[in-house]
């Protein structure tokens, strides 16, 4: 059987991804892009939790553009725990000098402008559980890459996984089975998804896991 070609971004899109502030490596970005292109075929929006400066948003936006759907991205833009002053991933360049707090929204907007993808993205500025509580429609893809505490990861999973359409994809970043490699909260929600019986693993690339949501009665006779 001939293997189906995996979707890949154009060089300009990949360059915009690589030039943006963020932490996702290229191999994981390519896996996310392929998943987004596939999920966009459902004709539903693609959503990510955890925008930061828009590095992964570039890929979701281009996949959405190709399919004529929208990419949605949820973030309060004040930074997660590990991005606060004194922590490993803090970047003083994204601190608002007026209020003295992180504000990644301006950098995110510049990222999308540089990529030429602004019109394909809706930025939802707020906390994930609050936005999830008022979002009613189904989604073709949910990409969870927000805060890495159990509280925040669990909130993202509980708020958004139910909104993935049957046949849609749940993508979770920073999944580390070995605690020596990283925090365990994303790994725990990954296990919850598998144990729910509604999600099956599609692919593994680095710390990125792609899961497909099945219908409630899938496999039953």
Report the alpha-carbon distance of residue 51 to residue 57 in Å, rounded.
7
- Across the strands, what pairs with 74? 49, 124
Query: If pLDDT is split at 50, 70 and 90, which confidence band does 216 have?
Result: confident
51/9 Cα distance (integer angstroms): 19
Q: What is the Cα–Cα distance from 9 to 101, expressed in whole angstroms?
A: 34
pLDDT digits (tens, 9 = 90+) for 23-42: 899 999 999 999 999 999 99
- Catalytic: 148? yes
Kindly report, residue by residue over 164-195, the tens digit of the pLDDT: 999 999 999 999 999 999 889 999 999 999 99
pLDDT of residue 220: 46
Q: 146 vs 7, 17, 35, 97, 162, CA distance in Å?
A: 25, 18, 18, 24, 17
- Region for residue 15 given its phi and psi (left: phi exceeds 0; alpha: psi -120 to 50; beta: otherwise): alpha
Among 76, 77, 120, 148, the active-site one is 148
- Mean per-residue pLDDT for 201-207? 97
Residue 157: CB partners within 8 Å, gap ≥ 6? 144, 189, 192, 193
The confidence score (pLDDT) of residue 2 equals 40
Q: Are 128 and 160 in contact (CB under 8 A)?
A: yes
């Amino acid at each position: 059987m001939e293997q189906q070609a995996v979707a890949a971004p154009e060089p300009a899109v990949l360059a915009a991804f690589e030039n943006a502030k963020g932490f996702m490596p290229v191999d994981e970005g390519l896996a996310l892009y392929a998943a987004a292109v596939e999920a966009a075929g459902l004709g539903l929006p693609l959503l990510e939790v955890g925008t930061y400066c828009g590095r992964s948003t570039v890929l979701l936006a281009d996949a959405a553009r190709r399919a004529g759907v929208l990419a949605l991205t949820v973030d309060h833009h004040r930074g997660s725990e590990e991005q606060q002053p004194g922590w490993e991933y803090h970047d003083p360049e994204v601190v608002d000098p007026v209020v003295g707090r992180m504000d990644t929204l301006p950098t995110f907007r510049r990222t999308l402008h540089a990529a030429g993808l602004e019109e394909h993205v809706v930025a939802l500025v707020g906390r994930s559980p609050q936005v999830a509580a008022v979002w009613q429609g189904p989604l073709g893809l949910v990409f969870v890459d927000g805060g890495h505490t159990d509280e925040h990861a669990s909130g993202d999973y509980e708020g958004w996984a139910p909104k993935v359409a049957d046949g849609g994809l749940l993508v979770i970043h920073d999944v580390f089975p070995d605690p020596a490699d990283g925090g365990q909260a994303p790994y725990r929600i990954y296990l919850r998804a598998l144990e729910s019986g509604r999600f099956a693993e599609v692919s593994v690339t680095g710390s990125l896991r792609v899961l497909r949501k099945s219908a409630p009665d899938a496999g039953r006779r």
